[in-house]
Amino acid sequence: MTGHASADTLLDRSLAGISLRAPARAVAVLAAVALTAAAAQFTMPVPFTAVPFTLTPLVVMLTGAALGSRLGFLTQALYLLAGAMGLAVFAPSAILPPGALRLTGPTGGYLLAYPIAAFVTGWLAERGWDRRYVTSCASMLAGLAVIFAGGVSWLAVAFGQSLPVALSQGFTPFILADLVKVAVAAAILPQVWRFAGRHYRT
């Protein structure tokens, strides 16, 4: 694992040799926003909580790692902006508020944590953490921790829940499935690097 920032992400690797990098980066960000929105459509209600199960955290962490800290943050900020403007990018729900009100609802803390989680995962990826499975797992877990911290603290503070209740509503029902997401995401990144012909060195 490298000890300093290389500023070398999967996106940087894929754009090597391309002269018009700015438009290509813009396309990559928009594609990542669309992928995040698509992942949000795969949702399943969970009993005894207003927080649904979605695939979005998986995409948040993957796009953060692939694009890097700044573009990962920008991607998720644009995703939240699109949802706040009323575009159908958030998880469909009969009980959660639509549009900008979704950011003040029970899942608001998770959503607002997405840009930070993408930044953290991207920052670690820029330091080589996405090249090996173990460190890739660690970077995904760091991003997941940010999302859960945002979601649980939001339930506790904004909705006046005690910490045990907030954990039972916003953490316990999801942690096992989300650990599976981490295992999947962590396995993808080193494989993509190997496919791209990059050799990670300690």
The reply to whether CATH 1.10.1760.20 applies to domain 10-195 is yes
Domain boundaries along the sequence of the chain? 10-195
**What is the rounded CA–CA span in Å between residue 79 and residue 101?**
15
Q: What is the pLDDT along the chain (202 residues), one digit of tens a residue?
A: 444 445 588 888 888 767 677 888 999 999 999 999 999 999 998 888 889 999 999 999 999 999 999 999 999 999 999 999 999 999 999 899 999 999 999 999 999 999 999 999 999 999 999 999 999 999 999 999 999 999 999 999 999 999 999 999 999 999 999 999 899 888 888 888 887 764 444 4
Q: Are 170 and 148 in contact (CB under 8 A)?
A: yes
Beta-bridge partners for 54: 43
Q: So what's the pLDDT on residue 19?
A: 66
Helix residue ranges, H only, the chain: 10-14, 21-40, 56-67, 69-84, 108-125, 133-158, 163-170, 175-195
